[in-house]
Structure formats: structure tokens, C-alpha cells
Amino acid sequence: MRATVFESGPLPGGRARRVTTAGRTLDNGQHILVGAYTALLGMMRTAGADPDRLLLRLPLELRYAQGFRLRAPALPAPLHLAVALMTASGLGWRERLGAVSFMQAMKKKRFRVEDHVSVATLMEAHGQAGTIGKYLWYPLCISALNTLPQFASANAFLAVLRDSLGGPRSASELLIPRVDLTALFPEPAAAWLAEHGGEVRCGSPVRDLEALRRDYSHVILAVGPHQLEQLLPGLAGDYTYQPIYTVYLKFPAQVKLDLPMLGLSEGVVQWVFDRGQLGGEAGLLACVISAQGDHQQMQQDELATACHHELSAVLGALPMPEWTQVIAEKRATITCSPGVKRPGPGTPLPNVFLAGDYTDPEYPPTLEAAVLSGIRAAQLIA
């Protein structure tokens, strides 16, 4: 079977792509993967994009400028997690034990609760909303679901916990791209497709689904839900969206973090990544702000200044950045709320299928969900 990909943008990658702006090559947003993303990692290998070379693999370590630190030791699962939780700094004994029993309780429930439950409600019910919530569960929820805990689906969060912290040790490892996002997978995938008789046509928006249906035996609409509305109205559901802001600050080359990724908890910045340690320019820091918040009301230069001040407060006085760049993805993902509609791969049209991060039945809108959905649609066709 041969496949043709029509991509409206000038290069492949969609919401995970390289952007060139003011002569600089950046990503549209800092992305992070976990070892549990097995479908994505498998797809990378198929496309000849070696994850071991293209991704920096780190043992699970969450370190905050404010002192909290959790690190998984090199022990088999589930010991690695139990020891990580029991030795986390910045937590009392009661909270450490509470976190271990929370994971055990969720395991007993097979990581599922009633559909209407939010992450915040779940955490409050299990005594996990204190310091452990502030530094572990809520940041994980915001990073994985791009939705604030009070609005986020507990079941989508639990699916991620089941496969990452609840899985083998490798599943909780953090994988950070060492190359730009278009080089990470879309370009190798396009090359693989070309070798197998297919093609990626960039700058080719699809406007007429009926024409496509006449020309091709099967069509997979792998677009964002708001884009689907134009091609096949009424199918996607009435979603709300969450933003992700990435604020790049370029400092002199000697400015670096002690580790590739550091958490912040007192201002707008949630995570800061040292791109110099990730194959990028030395001195380039990327601040990530996921989900909705007051930062959306700020002008871009105001936001960049706020990030600069917050970084200076925790890293020691930093010089003025040589340049800054704010990339605001306003529709980064759908709001992953309890009971949000997931349309699945089928459509009323017999040869038209859906794929995309919002269509996965249980995973939050992530790269893994996008890959899983593509595999599911292709399997239906096959």
C-alpha cells in the first residue's frame, strides 16, 4: 500500500516542528518524552530515526530550584519508584509514605476511577494535594495533559501514571530531543515513506475531501480538531483548547544549568531547559509554561522579562539576554477534561478515517497519542 501525505505547512511536523524566526532555528515548543512512549519510539526505529542517538535519555529525576528533588535509583520496578518517593527531599515521612500507598491504591484500581473525576479531586481524596501535589502530581498532570489539575481528567492522568511511574524503570525515564523536532521524526519518516513508494507533499492543503476520496482508496484525516471541522463538520466535538508558551532566552555561552531540566514553582515558569546541553546553542535556555494562566494576559516582552527575573532569582543574577523569543501556541492541545469526547478512528464515510492526538480513547493529547491513533487508523484500513 502506498501513502501520500498532504501537509498544508511548509515542512512536516505539525505541532511538533522546527520554526525559523528572525533567522534563528528553534522548535515551536520544547517537547519532552518518557520511556513509556513505546509506540512513538517504535515508529522512530521503523523510520530509521535512532532514539538512542536523537534523544537524551535520563533516569527519572525531578529537581526544583526551590529544593524538592526526586530521583529514581537504578533498581528494578517497582522498587525504583518506592525508593525515589521515600528518599525525595523536601517531603515529610508521612507524605512520602502517602505517595507510595497512593500508587499502590491506584494499581489495585487498575489505574481507573469514575470518568467524571478530576485530577485535583483524586489527589485531595488520597491526601496527595499538599507538597507532593505541588511538586510531583500537579506538575506531571500539567506537563502530560496540558490542563490544570482542577479541570483535568483523572483517568487520562492515571493512564500516563500506569505506563510511566507504574511501569518498568525504563518507562519513567525522561527523553529529551537532541535535535530539532522536524529532524527528530518527521524528516526521517518522510525519507522512509519516499523509499517505500510514498510521498509527503508540503504546502499542499486539502480543501476538498470528496476529490480526495475519488483519487485515493482510503483517506486518514490526521488534522487538529478545529481543522477537521472544515473538512468533515460535526465530527470532532466542541473542544476548548489550552496554550503552551515557550520563552527562549539567549545568554552568553557560559550561562548553563547544572542539569538539562529544572523545575520552578513560584512564578510563571514551570520548567527551564538548557538547550546547550541538548545539542543546541550554549547559553540558550527554554522556559516552558503549559496550560492556561495569567501569563496569557502579558505582552511578549513582559513575559520574557518575567522569565529572566525568575531565572535570576533561582540561578543567581543573570546578564541581560542577547535576544529573547516567545512562541505562544494558543491551541497546543485540547483541554483534557473528564469525559471529553474522543471520536475514535471511524467516520460515517466508509473510506475516511480519523487520526490525531485528540482521538485516542484514553491517553492525553501527546505525541504518543498521535502515533497510537495513526497506527489504529492504518490497522483499520489494512
Ligand X SMILES: Cc1cc2nc3c(=O)[nH]c(=O)nc-3n(C[C@H](O)[C@H](O)[C@H](O)COP(=O)(O)OP(=O)(O)OC[C@H]3O[C@@H](n4cnc5c(N)ncnc54)[C@H](O)[C@@H]3O)c2cc1C
Footprint of ligand X (CB under 6 A): 6-9, 14-16, 28-29, 31-32, 205-206, 222-224, 227, 231, 244, 246, 329, 332-333, 356-357, 365-368, 370
Least CB distance to ligand X at residue 357 (A): 4
The answer to whether residues 197 and 73 touch, using CB atoms and an 8 Å cutoff, is no
Least spacing, CB of residue 313 vs ligand X, in Å: 24
Residue with cell 520563552: 247
Name the residue nearer to ligand X (CB basis): 129 or 280: 280
Q: Closest approach of Cβ 371 to ligand X, in Å?
A: 8
Nearest CB to ligand X, comparing residues 260 and 356: 356
Distance CA 326, CA 296 (A): 12
CA atoms of 379 and 126, how far apart (whole Å)? 39
Task: Identify residue 237 by its one-letter amino acid code.
Answer: G
**Short-list 88, 89, 71, CA closest to 80:** 71
DSSP per-residue codes, 176-194: EESS-HHHHTHHHHHHHHH
Nearer to ligand X, 118 or 333 (CB): 333
Beta strand 24-27 with 323-334: parallel, antiparallel or unpaired? unpaired
CB of 288 to ligand X, least distance (A): 8
Task: Tell me whether residue 69 is exposed, middle or buried, using C-beta atoms within 10 angstroms of its C-beta: 0 to 12, 13 to 18, 19 or more.
Answer: middle
The CB-of-302 to ligand X minimum distance in angstroms stands at 20
To ligand X, the closest distance from the beta carbon of 37 in angstroms equals: 7
The C-alpha atoms of residue 283 and residue 321 are separated, in whole angstroms, by 9
Given the complex with ligand X, which of 129 and 145 has the nearer CB atom? 145
By C-beta, is 124 or 329 nearer to ligand X? 329
CB nearer ligand X, residue 91 or residue 181: 181
**Secondary structure class of 139 (helix, strand, coil):** helix
